[in-house]
Structure 1
Amino acid sequence: MYISRNVDIELLNWKKTDKRKPLLIRGARQIGKTSAIRQLGEQFTHFVEINFDENPEFSQLFEKSLSPDEICQQVAVIKNIPIIENKTLLFLDEIQASPKAIGVLRYFYEKKPNLHIIAAGSLLEFTLSEIPSFGVGRIRSVFMYPFSFEEFLVALGENSLLESITNASPSHSLPQLIHQKAIGLLKKFLVIGGMPEAVTTYIENNDFLAVQKVLDDLIVSYQTDFSKYKQKVPSLRIQEVFRTVVQQVGNKFSYSYSNATLTNNQIKEALELLQMSGLVYSITHSSCNGIPIGAEINPKKRKFILLDTGIYQRMLGLDLAAIFIEDDTELINKGAIAELFVGLELMKNSSESTIAALYYWHRESKSSHAEVDYTVQHGTAIIPIEVKSGTKGAMQSLYKFLEEKKTNFGIRTSLENFGIFETIRIIPIYAIGIVMKNKLKQIQ
């Protein structure tokens, strides 16, 4: 069963473009890259898939200095499927197993521009890091992530609810019953997460225990991959840092965590590898004095979050009963899962053509301490976003940011309904990604 994804629209637009570049789909393992490309393949007369892991002999075609025309001719004969420009989609899967094939991609843009060719792979970033200028200007990248909450609602068939959320705004809140329904589905999503297999398992079985087993398998699979990240880095070292990230979500990362067995440099190396794998994303401190936000970062001050709330809650061992039964005013404050969810939604609803970057603002002084969970750029303005897991909480840090940076408004995202309080726009947590993607201009 294929569940539609937002990236499907991006892929269809690429298909219709006259002057298209070869496409490279990038992202963590098992987030649905291959399924999305196969779905696109149904829009073509012919679909040719080469998996370099399963059929390593195909690498020879890309190592013989053959032209794109010669490669296509030989692939067509071997696969017994015609490769015709504008009618065939050529899909190179697990392309990281053939670095030469990655290098050849750019020549398809120059020599065979009318052929639709897409590549994807697991742990692709490790291979790309070893190929300088692998295809600058000749290859287009699209970045994928696990399901967003919006995609989850579509998967459940909750299109009317999604439309209601999309049409709501701080000046036009949702009816309370609809708001409560959205919160209930948000709780389910936090437990299930956005990994395609977990979402599909829930839809087919309506069984949270079955979902938990899927998440367990995914965690084991990811940890097994650690040995592939870098030969000189022991997998146990990466595993230690991975679990440390889980425990520190929502806080500035501390290298002096309890039971640490590694040096700072070893921890930094493991963090870099985890980021390259797509399992971990960084939130970097910025002074936020002007745009771009990334111009004033302090790389020594970073938080880290996991790629998925389902995997996070499973590794942390959160009480699922408490998540569903607990009063909404104190939704899952344990483990900073609300802050994790918001960060992931910001990434998932950013541009597919660039690597999403997350930032936060923090000021320490003897007289005052202030921190804003996320800051985003909107035009020439920097918008602060404060995350509250429940419906209550002070907003001193948000006000300090607005005063110091001369920003017109800030966003508080919580379990409250849409609303306005002075210069603060209140956005329900479940709607933050949808608003940031479609309606930020309308909430000023």
Structure 2
Amino acid sequence: MYFKRKVDSYLRQWKEKENRLPLIIKGARQIGKTESIIHFADENYENVVSINFVLEGQYKTILSDGYSVENIIKNISLIDPSKKFIAGKTLIVFDELQEFPDISTSLKSFKMDGRFDVICSGSLLGINYKKIHSNSVGYKTDYEMFSMDFEEFLWAKGYSDLHIEQILEHMCSGKVFSETELSVYKKLFLEYCVLGGMPAVIRQYIETNTFSDTLEIQRQIQLDYEEDIRKYAEGLDQTKIASVYRSVPVQLAKENKKFQLSKIEKNARSREYSGCIDWLKDAGVVSVCYCLDYPELPLKGNYDELKFKLYYPDTGLLIASLDEEAQEDLRANKNMGVYKGALYENFVAEAFLKQGLGLYYYKKENATLEEDFFVRTKDELVPVEVKANNNRSKSLRKLIDNENYSDIKWGIKLADSNVGIENGIYTFPYFCSFLIKRYLAKRG
């Protein structure tokens, strides 16, 4: 069972370019990179040569005679004479790039040679990406991939692009969802929150139509992440990196969700941990939401690097990290309990990240004014509030009404409710989060 992914259309567009560069698809482990590449390769190429540097370590010698295409394909053919290289009809896939980053130096040669298309992939875990980038700058294209988003989950469940367009139309028109629409999409959204977007987890769920064994798969993925920390985090304190990763769910459960190093280690200093957080972010296993200095445009450069919240880029893995009682509540009783606000906030952060939106929040010093996220149109700053209850949105109201915040004219509230528009606050159900970028584009 192959799941349709957004990278599919990107790969087709890449192949249609006459002057295409070698492609590097990067992202966290087990998000479906290899599966998507091979699916694309089988449908679009007469001949595919695929090399996995983890499973086939013998290929780490293919650069022994230098970086020319001729020498590389000669050495590959020596190791496995069954691999054929047909000019103009062959895709070469170098998988698990983090195990053999030197191969990226050959991308310039492949581009200049022009006979073969090349796609590399690898988890951000362990990729010395600065080195890879410098070795092939100007001769490669990058694509960052994530685990499946809610739209891809809907595709996997059999829903079409028409259904997606109908959800967006509700958002744009302000027309409320019918009782049936709301019930169905809320149920699907809760399923997705619990499962997350790892293809292996979703495949297990769709094949069995139950949550059984999905938690086991999720926890194994987390164990694999921690194993990769031990394997690849060179020159950094691996224990500190693991401690930061494990601390994310606990810190999100706090009322003040700002990430506090003192909750990990009493006398922790930011300079001791900054490299650890950067490593996890580069690895694609945490996402960082920075606190704005002031709620105004531009967003880039207008934030405090020492004040931030951390999220998991896959809400399913966040839920999998909770204790047994919380698991029972979520999977059997559909009760969000104490983690309700944290889970919805994490889901919105995940949805924004996967849309390419930056993650920013605001908390005014010595005041109650606090906003969960900010997005922007061409010339407006738009605060986004994630409500775990039906209380009034006091901070959102203050930001919209206060003339000191001149870039803010209206705001978005994401809640367990229907579509609504009132005094500049546009309310949408949580499940609409994945369409915020398209909604903003339509508003201009």
Q: Same fold (TM over 0.5)?
A: yes
Per-residue deviation at 1:125? 5.7
Asked if 1:218 is matched to 2:221, the reply is: yes
Is 2:397 the partner of 1:396?
no
Amino acid of the residue matched to residue 162 of structure 1? I
1:387 equivalent in structure 2: 386
Looking at structure 1, the residues matched to 84 and 66 of structure 2 have their Cα atoms a distance apart, in angstroms, of: 22
Provide closer, same or farther for how the CA distance between residues 224 and 66 of structure 1 changes in structure 2, counting only shifts above 3 A.
closer
Deviates more, 1:261-270 or 1:36-45: 261-270
Alpha-carbon contact 2:415-2:427 (below 8 Å) kept: yes
Q: Which moved more, 1:316-325 or 1:89-98?
A: 316-325
Aligned to 1:197: 200
Which residue matches 1:310?
316
Deviations 1:224-259 (A, max 9, x none): 222123244454332222111221127111111166
Q: Give a deviation string over 1:388-425, Cα, whole Å, max 9, x none.
A: 124x1222211232333222221111121122111111
Change (3 A) 1:292 1:64: farther
Structure 1, unaligned runs of 5 or more: 351-355
CA contact (8 A) 1:7 1:144 kept: yes
Matched, 1:348 2:354: yes
1:104 is matched by which residue type in structure 2? S
> Closer, same or farther in 2 for the Cα pair 1:327/1:417, shift >3 Å?
farther
Amino acid at match of 1:410: G
Q: How big is the shift at 1:360?
A: 1.3
1:405 partner SS: coil
Q: Does 1:162 align with 2:164?
A: yes
Amino acid at match of 2:92: L
- Identical counterparts, % of pairs: 27
Residues 3-42 of structure 1: pairs in structure 2 closer than 5 A: 3-42=3-42
What residue is the counterpart of 1:278 in the other structure?
284
Question: How far apart are the structure 1 equivalents of 2:11 and 2:45?
Answer: 12
Which of 417-426 and 143-152 deviates more? Answer: 417-426
Report the Cα distance in structure 1 between the residues aligned to 2:167 and 2:413, rounded to whole angstroms: 17
Q: Secondary structure at the match of 1:236?
A: helix
Say which of 273, 286, 299 aligns to 2:305: 299
> In structure 2, the residue corresponding to 1:104 is in which secondary structure?
helix
Q: Is the 8 A contact 2:125 2:228 kept in 1?
A: no
Question: Does the aligned pair in 2 maintain the 1:333–1:389 contact within 8 Å?
Answer: no
Shift of 1:313: 0.9
Shift of 1:71: 2.3
What SS class does the counterpart of residue 212 from structure 2 fall into? helix
Structure 1 residue 280: Cα displacement: 0.7
C-alpha distance 79-24 of structure 1, shift in aligned 2 (>3 A):
farther
Residue by residue, what CA displacement relative to the aligned partner does 1:118-148 show, whole Å, maximum 9, x if unpaired? 0011345642234562322221110011110
| Residue 442 of structure 2 is aligned to residue 442 of structure 1 | yes
User: 1:96 touches 1:102 (CA, 8 Å); kept in 2?
Assistant: no
Q: How many residues align?
A: 433
- Deviation of 1:285 after TM superposition, in Å, equals 1.3
AA at the equivalent of 1:359? Y
Structure 2: 5+ residue runs without aligned partners?
A: none
Alignment of 1:65-76 (within 5 A): 65-75=66-76
Aligned counterpart, 1:208: 211
- C-alpha root-mean-square deviation of aligned residues, in Å? 2.5
Q: Deviation at 1:117?
A: 0.7
Equivalent in the alignment of 1:87: 89
- The residue that corresponds to 1:353 in the other structure is none
TM-score, scaled relative to structure 2: 0.90
